[in-house]
Amino acid sequence: MLIELKDVNKTYFGAQPLHVLKGINLGIERGEFVSIMGASGSGKSTLLNILGILDNYDSGEYRIGGKLIWDLTESKAAEYRNKMIGFIFQSYNLIGFKTAVENVELPLFYQGVSRHKRHEMAMEYIERLGLKDWAGHYPNEMSGGQKQRVAIARALVTKPDIILADEPTGALDSKTSVEIMDLLKELNEREKLTIIVVTHESGVANYTNKIIHIKDGVIGEIEENHAHNSVHFGGEGMLK
């Protein structure tokens, strides 16, 4: 089991305490392509943040490859994120004053990879994602789909255990969305990458092999979706 969550709880203490995650139990195997689906307020973003070691949880256990993720210092958390997790965000989160290839180099920079080596590795992934001619361009010179592909290259370049995609198509038109989802699917099939997609769009979720429904902070139905027929892409108007 690559990812294991046991009775994970999370409460936000504000003016009114908000029990967001109420005992999450979840296991994801290496090489799985799953989606976590839920409406806004369901706790899926919180779960994503915990999975991505961006936030901590109050009780329970979260293990990645057997390693307990608990009570980490900021530095340690940063190190784990760097080595184990590749992020793909809705809004790409590329750094504006860096070129495409420089953005892809960044996680390697924080691994202490030498200049020459990281440029080589970054170029390899840039090329693999069909952006060779765009390597020297800045994000504002690229289309949304291109930017997201740069972000995917950046997520892949460290060869992480898990790819976490947070609404990866949220800012894209439907044609580009299909391209990106196809790309993720292909990466899962060809490279046996473990990919977790967090979304509220059933069309996006339908691309994955397993759909985990989350509602009001608890895991609901877990749907095996190898046939990819739970919802039609674009059907029901769920994916633009």
Partner 1 sequence: MLDLFQEIWSTLRQNKLRTTLTGMAVSWGIIIIIVLIGTGNGLMNALMNNASDEIQNIIAVYPGFSSKPYNGIKEGTMMRFNYRDLDFSEQFSEKIDRAFGNLEYSDTISLGSEALSSQIYGVDPMIKDIWRVRMVNGRFVNKKDMEDQSKHIVIDENAASQLLGDDKDYSKLLGQFINVGNIPFKVIGIRESEEQSWGHQSYIPYTTAKTMRTDGAWLSRLTLEFHGLETKEANDEFEAAYKRGINNFHGMHPEDTRTTYLSNYYLNNQEMDKAIRIMRTALWILGFLTLLSGIVGVSNIMLITVKERIHEFGIRKALGAKPMSIMKLIVVESVVITAFFGYIGMVIGMLADFALDKTIGSHPMDVGITQLYIFKNIGVGFDVAIEATLLLIVAGTIAGIIPAWKGARVRPIEALRAEK
- Contacts with partner 1, residue ranges (CB under 8 A): 49, 52, 54-55, 74-75, 78-79, 81-83, 87, 89, 93-98, 106-107, 109-111, 115, 154, 158
The single-letter code of the amino acid at 14 is: G
CB atoms within 10 A of CB 148: 29
Nearer to partner 1, 138 or 230 (CB): 138
For β-strands 33-37 and 162-166, DSSP reports them as: unpaired
To partner 1, the closest distance from the beta carbon of 73 in angstroms equals 9
Q: How far apart are CA 180 and CA 24, in angstroms?
A: 29
Nearer to partner 1, 71 or 74 (CB): 74
To partner 1, the closest distance from the beta carbon of 97 in angstroms equals 5
Q: Collapsing DSSP states into helix, strand and coil, what is residue 193?
A: coil
Nearer to partner 1, 61 or 79 (CB): 79
The residue assigned the tokens 């440029």 is: 119
To partner 1, the closest distance from the beta carbon of 225 in angstroms equals 28
Q: How far apart are CA 124 and CA 126, in angstroms?
A: 6
To partner 1, the closest distance from the beta carbon of 222 in angstroms equals 26
Nearer to partner 1, 118 or 213 (CB): 118
- Cα-based torsion angle of the residue sequence 44, 47, 53, 55 in order, rounded to the nearest 10 degrees: 90
Q: Give the single-character DSSP code of 28.
A: E
Q: What are phi and psi of 121, to 5 degrees?
A: -65, -45
Nearer to partner 1, 99 or 202 (CB): 99
Please report the sign of the dihedral spanned by the C-alpha atoms of residue 111, residue 103, residue 190, residue 50: positive
To partner 1, the closest distance from the beta carbon of 171 in angstroms equals 13
